[in-house]
Amino acid sequence: MAKHGKKYRAAAEKVDRDTFYAPGDAMKLAVETSTTSFDSTIEVHLRMGLDPRKADQQVRDTVNLPHGLGKTVRVLVFAAGEGATIARDAGADIIADDDEMLKKIQGGWTEFDIAIATPDMMGKAGRLGRVLGPRNLMPNPKAGTVVKAEDLPKAIDEAKDGRGEYRLDKTANIHAPIGKASFGTEKLLDNFTALMNAVVKSRPAAAKVYIQRVTVASTMGPGVKVDANQAQSL
C-alpha cells in the first residue's frame, strides 16, 4: 500500500470514513481537504450496479454544468468544406479537414479536450479509434459530439462553456469532474446536482440496481462518502 504524505494524512483526519455526508457537507469537505499547491479538480466517483459487458446496461451522455469546469477547453472539429468554415467561425480551436492533421492525430497528437465531428467526417475520424478511443476523445452521437454542420456553433459553445461527459467504464464506475476547489461549496453543489440529475435520467431500463455508492474527492485528496439517496433526490 502506498504511503501518504503529512498533508494527505492531515486532510484525511477531517473525514469520518464511516459517515455518508449530505451533498453540501461533502462538497465543503472536498474543498477543505484539497492539499495541492494548484487549484485542484473536484471529481465525483460513482460505483454502479451495472454490468458493463451488457449492451443494455451502458450509460454515456453529456451534461451542461451551470458553472462550467473552470478550465480552458480546446475543441477540435472534424469537418470539411462549409462545415469547416462554420466550425472556424464558431470558435473551434483546431479544424481537422485535411490529411496532414489526420496523420498528426494518427501519430498520437491529442492536444485538445473535446472532438466534435460532422456525420460525413466520421469515416475518417473512426479510423483514428486507436488514438481517440482510449482517451475518450472519439466523437459519439450519444455524447452530442456528432452533429450536422449547422449545429456546430451550438455544440462548440456548449463544449467551451463546460459541458461534461460521463460514461460507465469497464469496472462499472463513472468518474466525472464537477469543477475546481476554488469554485467553493455552492457552485460545486450546483454542478454536482446537475451531474446527478443527468445520471439518474440516464438509467437503463435493464438496470435492477443503479447507483450504489457516491464519493467526491479533490485531486490527490481523500475520498468523501456522500449519502447516495440524498444525492439522487436533489
Enter the pTM of the model: 0.78
Give, as one character, the DSSP assignment of residue 22. -
Task: Say how far apart CA 224 and CA 14 lie, in whole Å.
Answer: 10
Mean pLDDT of 59-86: 92
Residue 216 grid cell:
467526491
How deeply is 12 buried, as exposed, middle or buried, from its count of CB atoms within 10 A (0-12, 13-18, 19+)?
middle
Give, as one character, the DSSP assignment of residue 135. G
Report whether pLDDT(102) > 80: yes
- Under 8 Å between Cβ of 48 and 174: yes
- In terms of DSSP bridges, do strands 163-167 and 211-218 run parallel, antiparallel, or are they unpaired? unpaired
- Under 8 Å between Cβ of 172 and 143: no
pLDDT at 2: 56
Going by pLDDT thresholds of 50, 70 and 90, the confidence category of residue 144 is confident
Domains and CATH numbers, the chain: 6-68+163-231 (3.30.190.20), 75-161 (3.40.50.790)
Which of these, 151, 73, 85, lies nearest to 115 by C-alpha position? Answer: 73
- Under 8 Å between Cβ of 211 and 231: yes
Going by pLDDT thresholds of 50, 70 and 90, the confidence category of residue 125 is very high
Q: What are phi and psi of 177, to 5 degrees?
A: -75, 150
Chain center to CA of 21:
23
How deeply is 72 buried, as exposed, middle or buried, from its count of CB atoms within 10 A (0-12, 13-18, 19+)?
exposed
